[in-house]
Amino acid sequence: MNYKVYFAKRIADSLDEQLTEQQAYELIETPKYASHGDLAFPCFTLAKTLRKSPALIAEEFAVKMNDPLFEKVEAKGAYVNVFLDKAAVSKQVVEAILQQGSHYGDLSFGKEQTIVLDFSSPNIAKPFSMGHLRSTVIGSAIANIAEKCGYKAVRINHLGDWGTQFGKLIAAYKRWGDESKIKENPIKELFSLYVKFHEEAETDKQLESEGRAWFKKLEDGNEEAHRIWKWFRDESLKDFSRIYELLGVSFDSYNGEAFYNDKMEHIVHLLEEQNLLSESDGAMVVRLDEKELPPCLIKKSDGATLYATRDLAAAVYRYETYQFAKALYVVGREQSLHFQQVFSVLEKLGFDWAKTMVHVPFGLMLKDGKKMSTRKGRVILLEDALKEAIALAKQNIAAKNPGLENKEEVARQVGVGAVIFYDLKHERTNNIEFSLEDMLKFEGETGPYVQYTYARSCSILRNAQTAVTNTIHGLTTEESWKIVKLLASFPSVIEKAYEHLDPSLIAKYVIDLAQAFNSYYAHTKILVKDEELNSRLALVQAAAIVLKEGLRLLGIETPEQM
Ligand code: ARG
């Protein structure tokens, strides 16, 4: 139950129409100090309409508001302070969580609606960059959050699997390639062929035209070119899949740029029909002057089609296939203009669903304050970061818990959890300084700290050796109250995280909950056999359920022992 909503309703009810529930809700504050209660309602706004002093209104309220869930209602200056009844609220919250289990916090506003998420979307034959990592973990978390809100989520990996670079790559392969090496280490070998092509092309003028010729063959459907391209694509995907498996991320579709090769003509046709195409230096563009945007390039002078045209075709295809209520593109901010242009062209074409499309940008991963670029070797291969994190987790286990069963599995869960959490705890749009050292920290505001707290709660429940029943009373200490209040706010945190499309709200929440839990643990003898034992264990179990569910939304696993 959301007690803020509850209080807002009580205020609105007792006011007959001076304020709506929603207005009251927006005014309610959470006092900084416990001595001011759990919720506070400022009466300044009402003072204007009621033509009374705010203090007088507050006093009248304080007298009127009695409710079994309110222990005390107090007027303090212009504020009405509400002290919730700890025992009554704790009982309600903990019982609800034990009853609903992992479904606690499920919301329904997305019910029967589909949301499509375009995320990760790396480029074939190129290393998976830090930007792609960010897109992958943010996109995947947003998809989980959307599902928690009731939506059906469709996860799409819009692979960069077409373009002139594939002509170059085939040319390079024909000259220097080694099939078995590529099979062993696809991305690494293909990328070094690509780099070699560019190095050699500086002196060997023949190369560029070979590359162009192969791309032409590819576009014309030449059997050999197509076979090699497809092989590059398959091998690259195998490599990417290893990372996705490590991260525990999956997709419903890998339809990338190539998938739209035969779907762009339709878009060009629609644009022509509506007289939206104009010529500019021999290229075909859609002018977007009225939006003060540069024209969107549809066809280059050499007839080759472009990134934007594929995205237009992809949007139409996705709408026809999924009838989405919302479409998200989790892609770096440097593509902001591109998406503005694509969305504007779709609007011009009269698709009213274009309004539901959102570009969800995120901050850069910086190294020493500078952007990490693939070219300059700044990129630290993602897999290496993950592997190091896993190795470190293994060391920790060897030192602290050498007898642990399934060590390998737990080390993977913890190492990967550290990397994912490090990314997601930052506000989505902020830049992040890449620090392997910080990524590998397991204490403080980290994924492993939350995982460790979860494992601790599991061990308490194991040690209790008794089944927890859903009959709760007591739970009135400051420490348990902190946990209960956080537990009660979980659904509204999910809603906010969805509204802002920002998983960091959930990352911060699980840190707060883990801290509250650990301070409860430090202050309370949980396993003492008295009449509150079952209630304390129930609180531990409720916290465990919510920690696990919070981490699950972020894409992080929760070992029961570590
Ligand atoms: N492959 C692109 C890149 O790595 C990202 C694609 C994003 N999605 C899209 N529909 N344009 O920059």
Strand order in the sheet with 357-359: 152-156, 114-118, 326-329, 357-359
pLDDT at position 383 is: 78
How close are the terminal C-alpha atoms of the chain, in Å?
33
Q: d(Cα 555, Cα 195) in Å, to the nearest integer?
A: 34
Work out the angle between the directed axes of helices 504-523 and 447-464 (0-180°, nearest 10). Answer: 40
pLDDT at position 379 is: 53
Residue closest via CA to ligand 1's atom 8 equals: 158
Cβ of 160 less than 6 Å from ligand 1: yes
Distance from the CA of 441 to the center of ligand 1, in angstroms? 31
Cβ of 135 less than 6 Å from ligand 1: no
pLDDT at position 310 is: 96
Query: Measuring CA to CA, which residue among 160, 169, 122 is closest to residue 257?
Result: 160
Q: d(Cα 306, Cα 329) in Å, to the nearest integer?
A: 18
Domains of the chain, residue spans: 3-84, 163-247, 383-554
Q: d(Cα 70, Cα 84) in Å, to the nearest integer?
A: 4
Q: What angle do CA 132, 149, 322 make, to 5 degrees?
A: 65
Distance from the CA of 361 to the center of ligand 1, in angstroms? 12
Architecture of the domain defined by 3-84? 2-Layer Sandwich (3.30)
Cβ of 158 less than 6 Å from ligand 1: yes
pLDDT at position 18 is: 83
pLDDT at position 220 is: 93
Q: Within its chain, how far is the Cα of 169 from the centroid?
A: 34
Per run of 10 residues, the mean pLDDT along the chain (length 562 residues) is: 90 85 94 93 91 94 91 95 96 97 98 98 88 94 98 98 93 95 91 93 94 94 97 94 94 97 95 96 93 93 79 98 98 95 98 98 87 58 83 92 93 95 96 83 92 97 94 95 97 97 98 98 96 97 98 98 93
pLDDT at position 95 is: 97
pLDDT at position 381 is: 65
Place of tokens 């892609």: 331
Domain 383-554 has CATH 1.10.730.10: yes
Cβ of 118 less than 6 Å from ligand 1: yes
Say yes or no: do domains 3-84 and 383-554 share a fold.
no
pLDDT at position 355 is: 98
Residue closest via CA to ligand 1's atom 5 equals: 121
The SS3 of residue 553 is helix
Q: Within its chain, how far is the Cα of 146 from the centroid?
A: 9
